[in-house]
């Protein structure tokens, strides 16, 4: 990941609060915060044991958000995610018991181990911010964010995410191994699981919603920036190695990421470097590579990077 300079005081305070607990993970954490302040969802795709769950819990604590967790297995039911109606004999009526999806930040661990039916319940929540149970629709909490994880190399007993669900994730991010100095600090300090539970929040839910609204409303993107984003999308659609390029929703997501990047750097307007800041994470999982060009998941990232180098900067 390329280094990203943060100047926004709120984001700096969050990074400062979490730095003792998440050694070597600042770049991944910045991207989680970018998703949170842009109102998006994140797919963390990496090997086990690299701190994906720890990062999700820490982000919820520092943002003051209610945290829920879904551990996906192949026998997980949609009602295990959304909740269900239970008959109360004393009341003579059914009573709705909300599931973990009704929290502000929901960790969906090993999402590709859930069946397609359960994934469809998550799709409604992520796309519409609502859950339907027994014909009744319930609005979810605000802010609402899903951080899903999956192992990129273990496919036994998994169900690949459909393209419609992949498109609901604002970014797909890999944490990667920490550098040697950070890993040494981790070995010295040991597990931070219990310490993370005591992290005091920097923000609270209403402040996160207010920041989301401010970024969308107040950060200005000129017509030249909009044309730049559309040019990037068009190049992916015409690329010889891409079967299907970035959709209109993908272009809108890239704009939202660029606005958040500008806000994080203390600016009220978007520049081309903001568009580039999170482009790989925002676009690589939205393209379909032709079979002859497909060798691994990193190929999509390489193609997006080549597209960014190809499109003239305004």
In this prediction, residue 43 has a pLDDT band, given cuts at 50, 70 and 90, of very high
Of the two residues 206 and 23, the one the predictor is more confident about is 206
- Is the pLDDT at 301 greater than 70, yes or no? yes
Cα separations (Å) of 292 from 46, 162, 289, 300, 305?
25, 21, 8, 13, 19
Residues 125 and 70: their CA atoms lie apart, in Å, by: 13
> What are the two backbone dihedrals, phi and then psi, of residue 106, each rounded to the nearest 5 degrees?
-115, 120
**Of residues 203, 189, 95, 111, the one with CA closest to residue 150:** 111
pLDDT tens profile 192-217: 666 777 788 999 999 999 999 999 99
* Dihedral over Cα of 216, 103, 176, 15: its sign: positive
Q: What is the pTM of this model?
A: 0.89
- Is the pLDDT at 58 greater than 80, yes or no? yes
**Which residue segments constitute the domains of the chain, with CATH numbers given?**
9-207 (3.40.50.300), 219-310 (1.10.8.80)
Residue 221 tokens read as: 């993107």
Residues 114 and 243: their CA atoms lie apart, in Å, by: 27
Of the two residues 241 and 218, the one the predictor is more confident about is 218
């Amino acid at each position: 990941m390329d280094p990203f300079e943060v100047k926004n005081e709120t984001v700096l305070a969050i990074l400062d609060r979490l730095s003792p607990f998440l050694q070597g993970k600042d770049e991944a954490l910045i991207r989680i915060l970018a998703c949170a302040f842009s109102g998006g969802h994140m797919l963390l795709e990496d090997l086990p044991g690299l701190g994906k769950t720890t990062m999700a819990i820490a982000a919820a604590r520092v943002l003051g958000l209610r945290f829920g967790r879904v551990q996906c297995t192949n026998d997980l039911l949609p009602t295990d995610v959304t909740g269900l109606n239970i008959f109360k004999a004393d009341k003579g009526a059914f009573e709705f018991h909300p599931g973990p999806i009704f929290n502000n930040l929901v960790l969906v661990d090993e999402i590709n181990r859930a069946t397609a039916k359960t994934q469809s319940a998550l799709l409604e929540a992520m796309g519409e911010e609502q859950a339907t149970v027994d014909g009744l629709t319930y609005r979810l909490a605000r802010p609402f964010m899903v951080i899903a994880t999956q192992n990129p190399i273990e496919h036994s007993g998994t169900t690949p995410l459909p393209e419609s669900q992949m498109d609901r994730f604002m970014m797909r991010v890999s944490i990667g191994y920490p550098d040697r100095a950070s890993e040494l600090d981790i070995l010295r300090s040991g597990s931070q699981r219990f310490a993370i539970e005591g992290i005091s929040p920097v923000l609270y839910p209403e402040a996160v919603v207010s920041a989301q609204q401010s970024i969308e409303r107040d950060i200005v993107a000129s017509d030249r920036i909009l044309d730049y984003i559309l040019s990037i999308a068009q190049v992916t659609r015409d690329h010889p190695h891409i079967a299907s390029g970035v959709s209109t929703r993908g272009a809108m997501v890239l704009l939202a990421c660029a606005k958040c990047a500008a806000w994080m750097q203390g600016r009220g307007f978007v520049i081309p470097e903001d568009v580039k800041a999170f482009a790989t994470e925002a676009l690589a999982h939205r393209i379909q590579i032709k079979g002859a060009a497909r060798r691994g998941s990193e190929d999509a990232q390489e193609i997006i990077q080549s597209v960014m180098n190809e499109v003239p900067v305004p």
